[in-house]
Chain A
Amino acid sequence: MDKIILGRYLPGDSLIYRLDPRGKFLLTFYFVGIVFLANNIASYAFLLAFVLFAVYLSKINLGFFIKGLKPVFWLILFTVALQLLFTPSNHPIWHWGIFTLSNEGLVIAGYIFMRFILIIFISTLLTLTTTPIEISDSIESILKPLKKVKFPVTQVALMLSIALRFVPLLVDETTKIMDAQRARGVDFGEGGLIKRIKSFVPILIPLFVSSFSIAYDLAIAMESRGYKDGEGRSKYRVLNWSKRDNLTILFMAIVTVILLFLRSY
């Protein structure tokens, strides 16, 4: 549980690390979107080359990205197998009962596999080079325009940063409580449905009590330091948008144009 707060962030220094987290976050979303535009070998190969180029620029070993596939291994396998065996075809290579193996199925399964690789690699690139705090700061900044429709941006932003700050503390507390319960013989995640739910009670109550107590103390501390609301407050962590971020967006626009060209090629 110790690694939760850092996610998979790997300390380092390269062009990708130095990019503004807002740009990285938005471009990751954007890239995941344009992956769905690829429709032939040339377009998939081009996107793969782009992702590998980004991996190269990050100066992070490719092994870390391959490790990123581990949590979704079964999902990839299942989805690719579905495409392989259930894609309808008039010219099957092999047919048995409900299963059909065809050239079309092989090609689509290959494309779907590539889609997974591209999306997982690019989101791994974001999480390896950006801390969760930077990502949540970016989200806060991206939400700002919603102020115009009376969305409580400052409150949400404050909640976001306080929550992130207190996750490690509550992780410690949860680990201690669970260890204490295990020492008394409680087996979490074992037994029937009701037993599993009941084993959760001794964890829930102390955590509830300490969460409310911390929240109360924190509110007193903030109020005694003159906290009013989020308006006009300065930032401890300042995000800097620079020329290289503009160039990255320009580069991404060129990638999109080439992709659109290859798509209709």
Chain B
Amino acid sequence: MTNISKSSDLIVITEGALITALALVLSFVPHSTGVSSIEFMYGLIPMAIFALRRGLKAGLMAGLVWGILDLVLRGFSNGGFLNPLQGFVEYPLAFGVVGLIGLGSSRVKQAIKNGKSALGLIIFYSAIGFFAKYFFHFIAGGIYWGSYAPKTMNPWIYSLVINGGSFIANMIMMLVLAVILNRVFKRLIVIRD
């Protein structure tokens, strides 16, 4: 059987593509948190694992592709694109920055190789990526309400509540899964040739 190095550029691209497809598909799994407008974004989990496994550049690329496909497959059909600037910030930018989780790739891998749990590092770097994502959704929400809400209303408050709530809900999700699946996550993050 042909063999290929698990660190080759090509496998980084194919893995990134499959993880993006997975992230996209997971958004069609029921994801209500019980509070309306605040939802789990299951796709963040594979993206976080991929960014930690393959690093910053690969993570940013996969995040960008995820954003583009989410706009194409869901955004245009669900009324998610209602202002050009909001559309750009809400999709390519907000999804792309999830790849910032990749900033922690080498530290997390090193910790795992040293036999540590790496739980704290996984949560910390995931928080960076998740925060960046919801920060841009917050900005996009402000742009949207700024162009659609009455002038007397503060467009940022509603956006802050919804996106702040989504950030917290998704951090809880990441924390619970990282605790339950700590051993699995570690195996997925480290590349074994």
Contacts and interface: CB of A to CB of B under 8 A. Distances in A.
A238 interface: no
Interface string B60-75: 0110110011001100
Given A193-B33, A215-B18, A156 B61 contact: yes
A224 B17 contact: no
B150 A86 contact: yes
Interface stretch (B80-88, B105-113, B122-130, B131-139): B80-88
B161 interface: no
Interface residues of A, number: 79
B74 to A, nearest CB: 8
Contact of B150 (A108, A208, A220): A108
B39 to A, nearest CB: 10
Interface in A1-47: 1, 4-5, 7-8, 29, 32-33, 36
A188 B2 contact: no
Interface string B153-191: 100000000000000010011001100110010001000
Contacts of B49: 208
Interface string A157-189: 011101110110111001000100000000011
Contact of A222 (B14, B42, B81, B180): B14
Name, among B14, B68, B152, the residue most crowded by chain A CB atoms within 10 Å (CB to CB).
B14
B21 interface: yes
A170 B30 CA distance: 16
Task: Tell me whether chain A's interface is mostly helix, strand or loop, or mixed.
Answer: helix
A176 to B, nearest CB: 12
Interface string B1-23: 01110101111011111111110
A88 B61 contact: no
A203 to B, nearest CB: 6
Task: Tell me whether chain B's interface is mostly helix, strand or loop, or mixed.
Answer: helix
A219 B14 CA distance: 6
B9 to A, nearest CB: 8
B78 A71 contact: yes
A197 B177 contact: yes
B147 A36 contact: yes
Contacts of B173: 197, 200
A163 B17 contact: yes
Contacts of A123: 76-77, 79, 81
A119 B30 contact: no
A85 to B, nearest CB: 9
A162 B13 contact: yes
A32 B153 contact: no
B147 to A, nearest CB: 7
A98 to B, nearest CB: 10
Nearest to B33: A193
B95 interface: no
A4 B147 CA distance: 30
B150 A33 contact: no
A134 to B, nearest CB: 10
B18 A7 contact: no
A56 interface: no
B30 A188 contact: yes
Interface string B29-40: 111111000001
A207 interface: yes
A132 interface: yes
A159 B42 contact: no
Contact of B21 (A135, A166, A222, A223): A166
B49 to A, nearest CB: 7
Given A189-B30, A211-B46, A156 B64 contact: yes
B29 A200 contact: yes
Given A167-B24, A197-B172, A219-B8, A204 B42 contact: yes
Given A215-B18, A216-B4, A219-B8, 4 more contacts: A68-B77, A71-B79, A87-B150, A174-B25
